[in-house]
Amino acid sequence: MQTLLDVFQIILLFFAFAFIHSLMASLKIKSAIKEKFGNKIAFYRLIYNLISFLTFGLFLYFSPKPHQIVYEIPYPYDFIIFGLQILALLGLLWSIKYTNWKEFLGVSQIQKYFNQNYNEQWDENYSLRKDGPYQICRHPIYLFSILFIALKPYMTVFYFTLTLLIILYFYIGSYFEEKKLELLFGREYLEYKNQVSRIFPIKWLVKRLI
């Protein structure tokens, strides 16, 4: 009974974090801040990242940690899972190469602001990527993050619950993220959606099996 209560508390705390994270990422909130503060929105991305880091840290701190083992893959098969996890990490690093991490962290926006050449409408310069890992799926960072998190030789109740919540959040979050990209890129993004799967690369795999 206590384990079920712990899981319920983990879910509630995670959804509190997810709600704050998603709300701050919406164009509606960014538009309101842009209207009120103008080019000072250049600081928004860094503030957003700091708040996300802080709220996730609070989630981890206050969440109960039920330690019961859900499953444990025995030796030597655990090495196979570990090897797949390494491949997922390499895929994640590959995907990161196609991301402007200075902009993702909010550093480049602040540099532009102090150099008096910040002219983006939002807190970041949105671009439509179709090359590299974006040919496999529309959200390769989500895909390889899910694989890296899920490919674990053993799972406690806490880690298993957290893994399911992160997968769910990535999937729901990608839906709203794509609504934003449709608004920004229109027909070009809709055509890209028809050609490439969202997270799990089903269309990419089908093309290679045919």
The residues, ordered by sequence, that sit 6+ positions from 16 with a Cβ below 8 Å of its Cβ are 55, 59
Q: Report the alpha-carbon distance of residue 141 to residue 159 in Å, rounded.
A: 20
| pLDDT over threshold 90, residue 55 | yes
| pLDDT over threshold 90, residue 54 | yes
The confidence band for 121, taking pLDDT boundaries of 50, 70 and 90, is: low
| pLDDT over threshold 70, residue 180 | yes
Q: Report the alpha-carbon distance of residue 95 to residue 144 in Å, rounded.
A: 8
Q: Which of 1-5, 9-13, 95-99, 101-105 has the lowest mean pLDDT?
A: 101-105
Distances (CA, A) of 140 to 63, 112, 125, 197: 28, 28, 19, 10
Length of the chain: 210
Amino acid present at 188: E
Task: Kindly give the residue spans of alpha helices, DSSP state H, lying in the chain.
Answer: 2-25, 27-37, 44-62, 77-96, 101-105, 107-114, 140-150, 157-185, 187-195, 202-209
Interval 123-129 mean pLDDT: 76
| pLDDT over threshold 90, residue 208 | no
Torsion angle (degrees, nearest 10) of CA 5, 11, 13, 14:
160
Interval 146-173 mean pLDDT: 94
Distances (CA, A) of 86 to 73, 92, 95: 17, 10, 14
Residue 122 confidence (pLDDT):
63
Residue 156 confidence (pLDDT):
95
Distances (CA, A) of 128 to 95, 176, 188, 193: 14, 16, 9, 12
Chain mean pLDDT for the chain: 90
Greater model confidence, 120 or 100: 100
The closest alpha carbon to 165, from 44, 7, 35, belongs to 7
